[in-house]
Amino acid sequence: MQTDTTPKFINRLIHESSPYLLQHAHNPVNWYAWGKEALELAKRENRPILLSIGYSTCHWCHVMERESFEDLEIAQFLNQHYVPIKVDREQRPDIDAIYMAAVQTMTGSGGWPMTIWLTPDQKPFYGGTYFPAREGDRGARIGFLSLLKRLHEIFKTAPQDVATQAQELVRAIQSQIAPHVSKSMPGVKALHNAFRWFESAYDDIHGGFGSAPKFPRPVSIEFLFHYGVRSGNKKALEMATHTLKMMARGGMYDQIGGGFHRYSVDQPWLTPHFEKMLYDNAQLVLCYLEAYQMTKDLEFAEISRETLEYVIREMTDSSEGFYSATDADSEGEEGKFFVWSKNEILKILGSQEGTLFCDYYGVTDFGNFEGHNILFVKESKEDFAKRKELGFMDFKHFISESKRKLYEVRKKRIPPATDDKVLTAWNGLMIAALAKGGFILNEQRYLVQASKTANFILTTLKKDQQLFRNYRKGQVQIEGYLDDYAFLIFGLLELFEATGELRWFQEAQILQDRLLSDFWDEENGGFFMTSPQHEELLAREKPYYDGAEPSGNSLAAWNLFRLEAFTHDSRYGVFAKKTLECFGQLLDLSGHAAPLMLNCLDYSLDQVKEILILEPQKDSNGNELIEKVRQMYIPNRVFVITKEEKQKEIQKMLPWVISRACVSGKATAYVCVNQTCELPTTDPKIFNDQLNRVNPLPE
């Protein structure tokens, strides 16, 4: 007997491209997307707005949809008394930032799903995150339906109180997302103070900072690497590498398929929130690559490779763009796709090999997650093999083959949903990760993929020098934000350094010019999230907080400092320093909130290394010189590799490349600081010594 699968309800979201909005297209709630139609209706009928913000791979967004937005009684009340609007936070970070500031002001915290009550003129007067449907559900004292009724009554009977509350929240929003401008350059103490903050919050046992839940926050790791090398502080480097090692050994890392889940719900990184985000994986690859450079520990290289392979294999659109995320849930259960029973593993691998595998990955009969097992690593392969008196290479091969077998079985399960929209900003981060991975790991495939993706973004999501944010199934939508420009410029500069192809540098410059013309704050410095042509909202954000993603201002400043070093055009440096001045007071008082911007500050305090490897047309010993750059973490530098015959072309944009020549017909390295160069060398050992010299960070 066939079951009729025709949806009972269809609302306006059926016409949207966002996977998140499409997930709600068959709710009985009469959803609108954010836009003129909904906002004018609210004003015309003097109805409050119920604004719901989330994203497609958000577990608790799914829960609230099932409990509340598919509930006929709740839907009927919403449709009759409110204008319900859905927003995909990943498509509209500007709207998300404004109302997140409101929720944080009201509740002291935030998250998704975000649920906000607005006046018809878009001003918030109440809000929160997830609300259970009714009293008693999940221990709730008041349910979502009761809140809808109570707040609608207040809106109708006490409009002046609502207006006063809304206006106070608007002032708080404007203060929070467009912070006070200091116009004072922060000092080196901001770096030392931030390190002390991270040191005080550090978990010596499990790595990371604070207690559960634990987020990876790669910008913190980047700061500790930077600070540790420049200051000579070994504790900073130990904190960073230990954190990376513990994350990769825990359940937050997908031990079978590669890639990182979004965060850990517990302190030891064991139990993850199972969704995977493109931006997390891109940034973490950069961290693991740099950890490999500093320690030469092959475990870091292995994690980098596995994560990049996962993205290429499972997160790549036929267009060569990268998808945004995969869900935590499959078949209505969180984590079901990723967990294992011991019997299942023994059946796949056999009793003897399966038992060894289970021992290594902490698998038990009872499990560690709702009766099943999240795989995690208790000790390194070297230590485990030694303890079991196994040959290391044989054991390493055994683990690799066992993972392959389990992966093939897992592929037959029903997978979590994929958010298949392609976001320019997040693709910029992954281009950077692939470019750096291709260079450091000497893997040409990664460079090819990075180039394909960069070409797709530049030909499909750029029109008349303007970027767009979103691509899905042939549709390009939404004018680009600060993040889209800054993150893509970052990726293109990394790709230029890795390949030496001038096209990527030229494109980065074009986009940087557009960013300066459309997003720069002429009065106070720094960059706005939106251009003047963008829709006018309650406030125009100027982001500075480096959270799960770096802020657009931090990465824009980083790009500007690098462009100044590449081109010797002081104009870039002026804009970069004005950005630091704009947020100077914040960096002095709470620099740990913007660790990437602190790296920009360090860049401005250092003498930047300009590294050139010039190769003759014929085969040479260039690879030996390049290998030295691959192997070494150098905090503040720019790097160019080019052939002699391309020198004239490249020096038009990078004047410091002029008048350089190969010595004795061999590949030659030049290391320059402040327009003063070391003697050119063809000797990898001498070149290594030149690269190793670090200017110490002042006290």
What's the pLDDT score for residue 375? 98
Find, among 153, 152, 16, 11, the residue nearest to 78 by Cα. 152
- Look at 652 and 347; give whichever has higher pLDDT: 347
What's the pLDDT score for residue 106? 94
CATH number of 609-692: 3.40.30
User: Does this chain's domain 189-330+419-605 share its CATH topology with 609-692?
Assistant: no
Model confidence over 45-55: pLDDT tens digits? 999 999 999 99
Residue 88 is given by DSSP the state E
CA–CA distance from 440 to each of 109, 295, 620, 625 (Å)?
A: 39, 13, 20, 13
Under the banding of pLDDT at 50, 70 and 90, the label for residue 4 is low
3-state secondary structure at position 600 = helix
pLDDT at 681 over 80: yes
What's the pLDDT score for residue 620? 58
d(CA 639, CA 554): 21
Under the banding of pLDDT at 50, 70 and 90, the label for residue 6 is confident
Percent share of the chain, pLDDT over 90: 90
- For residues 151-174, give the mean pLDDT: 95
Model confidence over 439-472: pLDDT tens digits? 999 999 999 999 999 999 999 999 988 999 999 9
Under the banding of pLDDT at 50, 70 and 90, the label for residue 675 is confident
Structure tokens at 610: 């300009």
Q: Which fold would CATH assign to domain 12-177?
A: Glutaredoxin (3.40.30)
d(CA 131, CA 138): 9
Q: Which fold would CATH assign to domain 189-330+419-605?
A: Glycosyltransferase (1.50.10)
Domain segments of the chain as ranges? 12-177, 189-330+419-605, 338-412, 609-692
419: alpha, beta or left? (left if phi > 0; alpha if psi -120 to 50): beta
**What is the three-state SS of 167-190?**
HHHHHHHHHHHCCCCCCCCCCCHH
| Sequence-distant (≥ 6) Cβ neighbours of residue 401 within 8 angstroms | none
The one-letter code for the residue type at 76 is Q
pLDDT at 2 over 50: no
Task: Dihedral sign for Cα 250, 255, 257, 258, please.
Answer: positive
pLDDT at 227 over 90: yes
What's the pLDDT score for residue 621? 59
Find, among 233, 222, 290, 196, the residue nearest to 696 by Cα. 233
**Mean model confidence pLDDT for the chain:** 95
C-beta of residue 552 within 8 angstroms of C-beta of residue 512: no
Model confidence over 541-554: pLDDT tens digits? 999 999 999 999 99
pLDDT at 593 over 50: yes
